[in-house]
């Protein structure tokens, strides 16, 4: 009987080689022609239905299981993001980035190699696979966002039926010793929205403010009123972070400008508080301005939604990794993270789970540099584990969804 771990061990060196090739040639954003070509090359020869994106260089591959199913074929989605960051690499490895100012500093090169590995494992085991698997290779996770355009281009119906469950894995360069998986049910990461306020007044001479509508003190009041609103209008048990990172107005000490700008990042951890925070931010800015006879235009850019792990899917995914790798390689996350993640758009549409694994490359993980640092080092020894875990999630969840006993499905392929 074939087993996902056996296959991942056998194909592991090839996956590590792919990861290192990707690491040398990082690309940014939605258009990653070299990365896309590497993915297509790595999938060549497999019996897949492959489609590339129209508005971005995504790859969607459908792998059809060959085990008999009575009734609807289950569809499981596995996701790997592909893009790098504008960071100059300072890690001393022989596969260091060859592109100045660009680096796979968030480990997405490991995700691509892991998802290619899952494809190879599932292809080899497709006699035991009772449904179809959608492999989602997505650009633009670090911005401006690739999941939404992929969904618009038909990602969730790529197999002919809507996806039933979705899984993704992210690597970390610190936080835990190498090989430890970690996650939590429910809210995993924040929603992140950009707030831009333009306070509109009427400028004039600094000596005669009464003949102007000075936007500068109004902008200052809005910054403070935001902080009051966050602490007075939201429960501490569902946190809201509103950080004003930029205030800009004027050109010279004795000129009152026409307008002032306030820019903030808004992080929320639930849909309710996200919607409420959008309302509160607009109301506070507009009414503080109105109190002084000015106006405020508020724009809130919709960033990534809250990333939510379905509790049952989380339990399932944790069971898969602890079955494969043992309980000593699992750690529960107590709190969500204030970062945000593009996979949230998929998890908003279908239940699923996003898990993390430490790829810490140094002995003492407490001294390791975090993701996005120019010194973030990821150990690709975990790539075969990511491949095996993703493949096993697809195999097991398909059987559950089809109501097929594991032994029957495996017998069918023997
Ligand atoms: Zn990332």
CA angle at residue 214 from 208 to 220, to 5 degrees? 135
What is d(CA 173, CA 360) in angstroms, rounded to the nearest whole number? 4
Q: What is the pLDDT of residues 312-325, one digit of tens each?
A: 999 999 999 999 99
Q: In whole angstroms, what separates CA 316 from the centre of its chain?
A: 20
Closest to 110 (Cα-Cα) out of 203, 202, 35, 15: 15
* Ligand 1 centroid, distance to 340 Cα (angstroms): 9
Quote the pLDDT of residue 414: 38
For residues 182 and 355, the answer to whether their CB atoms sit within 8 Å is yes
Residue 159 · residue 134 · CB < 8 Å: yes
Strand, helix or coil for residue 407: helix
- Between the CA of 43 and the centroid of ligand 1 the distance, in Å, is 23
Query: Strands (DSSP E) along 222-335, which ranges?
Result: 240-249, 255-256, 259-268, 295-301, 307-309, 330-332
What's the gap in Å between 240 CA and the centre of ligand 1?
A: 22
* Residues in the chain, overall count: 414
Residue 318 Cα, ligand 1 centroid: separation in angstroms? 20
Using the mean position of ligand 1's atoms as its centre, give its distance from the Cα of residue 22 in Å. Answer: 15
- The pLDDT value given to residue 412: 45
| Average confidence (pLDDT) over 271-292 | 97
Mean pLDDT value across residues 47-67: 97
Helices (H) and strands (E) in the chain, counts: 10, 16
Q: Three-state SS for 18?
A: helix
| Ligand 1 centroid distance, CA of 213 (Å) | 45
Distance (angstroms) between ligand 1 centre and the Cα of 161 equals 29
Ligand 1: centre distance to CA 319 (Å): 24
pLDDT score of 409 more than 60 = no
CA distance 409 to 336: 37
β-strands 352-358, 181-183 pairing: antiparallel
- Ligand 1 centre and the CA of 320: distance in Å? 22
Given strand 240-249, what is the order of strands in its sheet? 240-249, 259-268, 191-200, 295-301
For 118-141, write each residue's pLDDT tens digit: 999 999 999 999 999 999 999 999
In DSSP terms, 330 is beta-bridged to 181
Tell me the two tokens of residue 361: 């490359």
Q: Sign (positive/negative) of CA torsion 318, 78, 84, 341?
A: negative
CA distance 212 to 229: 28
Q: What is the pLDDT, as a whole number, of residue 1?
A: 53
pLDDT digits (tens, 9 = 90+) for 17-32: 999 999 999 999 999 9
CA-to-CA separations, 60 to 104, 207, 269, 347, in angstroms, rounded: 21, 63, 30, 17
Q: Where are the alpha helices (DSSP H) in 292-366?
A: 311-325, 344-349
- Give the CA dihedral 48, 120, 348, 353, nearest 10 degrees: 160
At 302, the pLDDT band (50, 70, 90 cuts) reads confident
How far is the centre of ligand 1, averaged over its atoms, from the C-alpha of 274 (Å)? Answer: 22
pTM of this prediction? 0.90
Distance (Å, whole) CA 94 – CA 286: 55
Alpha-carbon distance of 391 to 133, in angstroms, equals: 9
For residue 106 the two structure tokens come to: 């968030």
Cβ burial, residue 232 (10 Å; 0-12/13-18/19+): exposed
Residues 241-260 have pLDDT tens digits of 999 999 999 999 999 999 99
Q: How far is the CA of 104 from the centre of ligand 1 (A)?
A: 9
Picking from 309, 285, 347, the residue whose alpha carbon sits closest to that of residue 155 is 347
How far away, in angstroms, is 341 Cα from ligand 1 center? 8
**Of 198, 176, 208, 335, residue with least CA distance to 259:** 198
How far is it, in rounded angstroms, from Cα 170 to Cα 176? 13
Residue 270 CA to ligand 1 center (angstroms) comes to 21
Average pLDDT over the chain reads 95
């Amino acid at each position: 009987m074939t087993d996902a771990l056996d296959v991942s061990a056998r194909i592991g060196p090839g996956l590590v080689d792919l990861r290192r090739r990707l690491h040398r040639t990082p690309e940014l954003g939605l258009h990653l022609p070299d990365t896309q070509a590497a993915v297509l090359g790595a999938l060549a020869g497999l019996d897949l239905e492959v489609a590339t994106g129209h508005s971005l260089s995504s790859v969607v591959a459908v792998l059809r299981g060959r085990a008999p199913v009575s009734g609807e074929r289950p569809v499981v989605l596995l996701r790997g993001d592909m893009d790098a960051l504008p960071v100059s690499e300072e890690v001393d490895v022989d596969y260091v980035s060859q592109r100045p100012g660009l680096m796979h500093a968030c480990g997405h090169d490991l995700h691509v190699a892991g998802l290619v590995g899952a494809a190879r494992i599932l292809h080899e085991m497709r006699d035991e696979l009772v449904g179809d698997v959608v492999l989602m290779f997505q650009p633009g996770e670090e911005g401006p966002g690739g999941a939404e355009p992929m969904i618009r281009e038909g990602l969730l119906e790529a197999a002919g039926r809507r996806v039933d469950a979705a899984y993704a894995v992210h690597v970390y360069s610190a936080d835990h010793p190498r090989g430890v998986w970690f996650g939590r049910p429910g809210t995993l990461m924040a929603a992140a929205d950009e707030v831009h306020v333009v306070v509109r007044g009427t400028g004039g001479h600094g000596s005669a403010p009464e003949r102007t509508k000075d936007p500068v003190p109004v902008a200052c009041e809005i910054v403070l009123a935001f902080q009051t609103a966050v602490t007075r209008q939201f429960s501490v048990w569902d946190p809201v972070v509103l950080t004003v990172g930029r205030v800009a107005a004027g050109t010279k000490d004795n000129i009152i400008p026409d307008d002032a700008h306030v820019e903030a990042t808004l992080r929320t951890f639930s849909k309710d508080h996200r919607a409420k925070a959008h309302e509160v931010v607009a109301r506070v800015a507009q009414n503080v301005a109105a109190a002084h006879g000015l106006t405020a235009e508020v724009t809130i850019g919709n960033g990534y939604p809250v990333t939510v792990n379905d509790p049952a899917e989380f339990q399932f995914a944790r069971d898969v990794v602890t079955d494969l790798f043992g309980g000593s390689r699992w750690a529960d996350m107590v709190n969500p993270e204030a970062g945000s993640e593009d996979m949230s758009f998929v998890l908003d549409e279908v239940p699923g789970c996003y898990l993390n694994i430490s790829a810490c490359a140094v002995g003492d993980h407490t001294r390791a540099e975090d993701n996005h640092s120019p010194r973030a080092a990821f150990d690709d020894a975990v790539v075969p584990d990511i491949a095996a875990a993703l493949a096993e999630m697809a195999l097991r969840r398909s059987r559950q969804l089809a109501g097929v006993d594991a032994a029957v499905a495996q017998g069918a392929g023997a």
